[in-house]
Structure 1
Amino acid sequence: MSRRRQVGTRRTTVACATLGCAALALAACGDGDAESGDDTIEIGISLPLTGDFSEPGEGVRRGYELWAEMVNEEGGLLGRRVELNILDDQSNADRVVADYEALISQDEVDLVFGPFSSRLVLASARVVDEYGMLFVEPAGASEEIFEAGYDNLFYAAPAVADDHYNYLFDYIMEMPEEERPDSVAYASMDDPLAQGTAYGLKDKLEEAGIETVADEVYPPNTTEFSGIAAQLAEADADLLVGGTQYQDAVNLIVAVQQLDYQPRMAAFSTAPTLPEFSEALGDDVEGILAPTGYSAAADYPTNAEFVERIAERYDGRIPSEDEANAFTTGQVVQAAVEAVGCAEQGECQQKLIDWLHENTVDTVVGPLSWDEAGRPDSAHFIQQHVDGEPEIVLPEDQATADFIDVKPEW
């Protein structure tokens, strides 16, 4: 583990002239810190608002902003108003490191929330750990992150990437042998989360004797998929698995459609959980599977209110997984802050970290607890588009629709 830098509690001095104090009625006169007069809690965040991950990055921002709004409506955190300081890392790993360095050491934020994507979480976790700060993150599920030895990091979702498809694997193994797919083609972005999700399923299926007939990996900025689509079409696998974000999934599906490759089952990460996916592909989303850490229909505390508030703010939309995991990040940090009674740099951060290692937090994605490396101990739902709507099909006891065994042609 990295040697942590010692950062003291932020202190702000406001000079008050005789006639100026009335105008500064809401500000503290003299020295103030997190325990004695600072009326805000500033949270530093770096998000990919432009670049490869801008689509889900915007979803994470919506979730963070709604959480802050709802907390402030209830009187704030520890009686102090929450303010979000959000920077755009442009989907760039070097930029995200610089952002968190600046947020912590220059802006002296009280708390930090994580960025989007395993690639950016992996890059930023090091600098946050060096400052000894709590790092709850909504979208870094790659196993690399949890093998790095950070005790301050917690993933605000039900399962890590390797386990995202566990329910789908179990379902396939329970199918009659003659109906079970006997070949699989994989196409994945060169990204820790995308590959971790796809290859977690790959490892399990190969161990069970199901053949891999294609395995294509492409750079994050890929927009031309005709060559990869040709390889997938030639392999003609029963099951197509895409380790994807958003735009790459849409482009890949369009490319294989043009070659009339019709897999019996198709599963893609991230993209099918976004409302924009259906808008981009129309009826061709039918039957497509995806792991998701969130269901709008789940009966978890505060979930109904969260769904209602997203609908109010965004023209009736159903919350995406990105919005839910970001909101969950806020809930997790809020629970720790309220339990420990502090929220500032310095010794408080270790108290927050220790509390989360020892407790379970109720969230909109369900109750969360973590192992020593920050891995959650639950499992992802499996979503499928049924009659044009994203439904939960696995596990069966949480299902909102029946599983479609053979995907309609696209």
Structure 2
Amino acid sequence: MSQWNRSGTGLAATLSASVLLLTACSGTPGGGGSDDTIDIGISLPLTGDFSEPGKGVQRGYEAWAAAVNANGGLLGREVELHILDDQSNADRAVQDYEALIAQDQVDLVFGPFSTRLVVPSARVAEEYGMLFVEPAGAAAEVFEQGFENLFYAAPAIADDHYNHLAEHILAMPDDERPRTVAVASMDDPFAQGTAYGLRDRLADAGLEIVVDEVYPPNTTNFSSIAAKINDSDADMVIGGTQYQDAVNLIVELQQLDYQPDLAAFSTAPTNPEFSAAIGARTEGILSPTGYTPEADWPSNVEFVEQYTELFDSPPAEDEANAYTTGQVVAAAVEAVGCAEQGDCQQRLVDWLRQNEVETVVGPLSWDDQGRPQSAHMIQQYVEGEIRIVLPEALAEAEFVHPKPAW
């Protein structure tokens, strides 16, 4: 993978020149297929239910494009991103990828955010024989569709995100281990995958699930769910969440003075705005993550430095997974020596099936269904900062238990 070698100012100029942000389903998504550029088609939820993480993925893609172009592009050609807003709607995402591939003849495609958008989008890519590397479709169902061209650009799938935490809890002495668990999850395959992977491992070990609620993605009022959790007095709460839903649920629980021994929420705690959104009462809250800006992988050190110069804050997990998507595709393109539609796409797929790629989230390799063969870390808010606490070999701070002080 090319290395960063320009100042933040130069990268910002490269960024603005190489990203086309277009309106979903506008009928004129942009001109792909130029001999002077490598055109990459992307549909993202920049508005709607998944807009918060969708914008993070956009920033990650933009940072990757700026880095590549600052170093001469791919195969000596400038990378140009054609980004459409699917408005968090699966039908629009399908239309976007149809237009980008068939009408605009982009050379490559990158995946969207959310399992709900990844599965139908991957189906389109598969139909056209396109390599489909995606940053945020981790639910088990993504890898049960029989896709032959799909790769997930992160360390582990959703069901396995909490494995380190489950192992740690089950290794606790009996008098310290939580006995009752309350679960609330968005009706979303990724959110449920993360929550239920942990729930089921704890339940199988004898912990009692006293609340198990599912809510629609557009839910904003969590008073009734919070009341059930509070009434249960569960020792531990698990949230299968994205971002705003976690914030709203936690605020409701705070107002009820519910205080669990352990609290774990997927995705939301890794967002830079999370602490302020819940009133900076974060102590002890846990979350799985496939990424930390502190990791000393060579490309990550440079990524963090230059991303921070571009966007005035360090990257979070969504941004890193998007950047990783670019790294994975770029590695295949440079190795195979092509990046166009047609036979080249199968050559890219075949290369990734047989090789490991160094990325900002560490080395990645995949099984035949596109599942990465690694593991997520567990982060926790410790004295106001989110730190890696599991596995112990990678820990930046000691695991806090009990009583997250939110």
Q: How does 1:6-405 map to 2 (within 5 A)?
A: 38-315=35-312, 317-405=313-401
Deviation at residue 300 of structure 1 after TM alignment: 1.0
Instruction: Provide Cα deviations, 1:382-408, integer angstroms capped at 9, x if missing partner.
Output: 011111111111111111111101133
Inter-partner Cα distance in structure 1 for 2:310 and 2:363: 26
Name the SS for the 2:393 alignment partner: helix
Inter-partner Cα distance in structure 2 for 1:107 and 1:276: 37
Letter in 2 for 1:53: F
Inter-partner Cα distance in structure 1 for 2:376 and 2:403: 21
Letter in 2 for 1:297: E
Deviation at residue 282 of structure 1 after TM alignment: 3.3
Q: Does structure 2 conserve the Cα–Cα contact (< 8 Å) formed by 1:168 and 1:382?
A: yes
Inter-partner Cα distance in structure 2 for 1:359 and 1:408: 42
Instruction: Provide Cα deviations, 1:261-301, integer angstroms capped at 9, x if missing partner.
Output: 11110000010011010121233111100000101111212
Name the SS for the 1:368 alignment partner: coil
Instruction: Provide Cα deviations, 1:84-119, integer angstroms capped at 9, x if missing partner.
Output: 000001011111111111111111100000000111
Inter-partner Cα distance in structure 2 for 1:186 and 1:95: 31
Instruction: Provide Cα deviations, 1:302-344, integer angstroms capped at 9, x if missing partner.
Output: 11111111211222x2210000000000000000000000001
Letter in 2 for 1:197: T
Deviation at residue 409 of structure 1 after TM alignment: 2.8
Inter-partner Cα distance in structure 1 for 2:295 and 2:302: 12
Deviation at residue 148 of structure 1 after TM alignment: 0.4
Inter-partner Cα distance in structure 1 for 2:177 and 2:271: 28
Inter-partner Cα distance in structure 1 for 2:403 and 2:301: 31
Name the SS for the 1:356 alignment partner: helix
Name the SS for the 1:84 alignment partner: strand
Q: TM-score, normalised by structure 2?
A: 0.91
Could you list the runs of 5+ residues in structure 2 that have no partner in the other structure? 1-31
Inter-partner Cα distance in structure 2 for 1:278 and 1:123: 34
Bigger-Rg structure (1/2): 1
Letter in 2 for 1:290: S
With over 3 angstroms needed to count, the CA separation of the structure-2 counterparts of 1:383 and 1:141, relative to structure 1, is same
Q: Does structure 1 conserve the Cα–Cα contact (< 8 Å) formed by 2:237 and 2:264?
A: yes
Inter-partner Cα distance in structure 2 for 1:319 and 1:287: 22
Inter-partner Cα distance in structure 1 for 2:241 and 2:363: 27
Q: Percent identity?
A: 71
Inter-partner Cα distance in structure 1 for 2:268 and 2:104: 34
Inter-partner Cα distance in structure 1 for 2:45 and 2:90: 10
Q: Does structure 1 conserve the Cα–Cα contact (< 8 Å) formed by 2:269 and 2:286?
A: yes
Instruction: Provide Cα deviations, 1:126-151, integer angstroms capped at 9, x if missing partner.
Output: 11110010000000000001000001
Inter-partner Cα distance in structure 2 for 1:171 and 1:133: 41
Q: Does structure 1 conserve the Cα–Cα contact (< 8 Å) formed by 2:134 and 2:153?
A: yes
Name the SS for the 1:284 alignment partner: coil
Q: Does structure 2 conserve the Cα–Cα contact (< 8 Å) formed by 1:288 and 1:407?
A: no
Inter-partner Cα distance in structure 1 for 2:94 and 2:345: 20
The alignment yields a C-alpha RMSD, in angstroms, of 1.1
Q: Does structure 1 conserve the Cα–Cα contact (< 8 Å) formed by 2:284 and 2:405?
A: no
Letter in 2 for 1:92: N
Inter-partner Cα distance in structure 1 for 2:396 and 2:354: 33
Name the SS for the 2:402 alignment partner: coil
Name the SS for the 2:293 alignment partner: coil
Inter-partner Cα distance in structure 1 for 2:268 and 2:383: 18
Q: TM-score, normalised by structure 1?
A: 0.90
Q: Does structure 2 conserve the Cα–Cα contact (< 8 Å) formed by 1:49 and 1:91?
A: yes
Inter-partner Cα distance in structure 2 for 1:408 and 1:74: 45
